Amino acid sequence: MQTCLIFNPSAQGQKAAAFYARLGALCPDCDLRRTGAPGEARHLAAQAVREGYSTIIAAGGDGTANEVVNGMADVPQGLAAVRLGLVPLGTVNVFARELGLPRDLAGAARALAAGRELAVDLGRVEFTADGSGRSRYFLQLAGAGLDARAVQRVSWELKKKTGPLAYVAAGLKALRESQPVITVEGAGPAVTGQLALLGNGRFYGGSFEFFPGASLQDGLLDVCVLPKATVWSAAQAVMGLATGRVSRFWPSLHFRSPTVTLRSAGQVCLQLDGEYAGELPVTFSVLPRALRVIVP
């Protein structure tokens, strides 16, 4: 069974060379390919699908995994022909946490070697760019508004030094800006707010259960809409996350739907799997159990 491992060295900074050597030792039968620039993992994954690899392993963070899946989907029948493996090396690794994958290299290698598969839902977003319709896929989460603006503003240097705290700093800066109103249309009546979060799984921002009832296999997106994005609402969210009771402290609206449309009269950023992806308007949908992923 042919396996291609796509490694994002920026996920490990100065430790990249050591991790590359360890990956080679833990996966001796893999064809290791390093990314050299943002977006290259997508091209490498598409190339690997065309070359006939049956397993593609994304070694990096959520952004690397997102790029790899989009590359697989770029090739006709690529999602059906190839399964995804993960080696979580990024800052947060939300999707890997959702799957219960070990965070150490040896544990991840054992899970990959066992090769147990799970078919999971894949999120899809459709939007217009440069006058033409486009689509992208996401594994775990999406957001529009404050969190996406924080992702856009986050400092790469600070992220490498402080990890998730870099997003907190970027979020505090984004809070000083005006927060446009977002209209969210799903299975029921349209609702409005200044922050919209969508979950394919339970976790957001780490091991925080923003969507406790979510499932990777239910064909639905879990949606959370915050009416106002302010310093106080951010503090409420922190209290909710710290106590495991987000819904109690955070006055937000929740619903589930197989399709969701976000639009705004203002300029609103979009993030997919923790990476800046563009701006509204967008329409989300779900491809039920379209992705085969290796789990423990």
∠193-195-200 over CA atoms, to 5°? 115
3-state secondary structure of 170: helix
Using omega within 30 degrees of 0 as the cis cutoff, is the peptide bond preceding 281 cis? yes
How far is it, in rounded angstroms, from Cα 61 to Cα 252? 28
Please give the positions annotated as active site: 275
- φ, ψ at 251 (rounded to 5°): -80, 80
Structure-token pair, residue 275: 């990476």
Report how far apart, in Å, the C-alpha atoms of 242 and of each of 108, 125, 208, 209 are. Answer: 28, 31, 9, 11
Residue 103 CB contacts under 8 Å (≥ 6 apart), including other chains: 88, 93, 96
Q: Tokens at residue 128, please?
A: 């217009």
Gap between the Cα atoms of 250 and 75, Å rounded: 41
Q: Identify the H or E element spanning 14.
A: none
Are the C-beta atoms of residues 164 and 206 closer than 8 Å to each other?
Answer: yes
Distance CA 147, CA 150 (A): 5
Query: Of 286, 154, 156, 132, whose CA–CA distance to 216 is shortest?
Result: 286
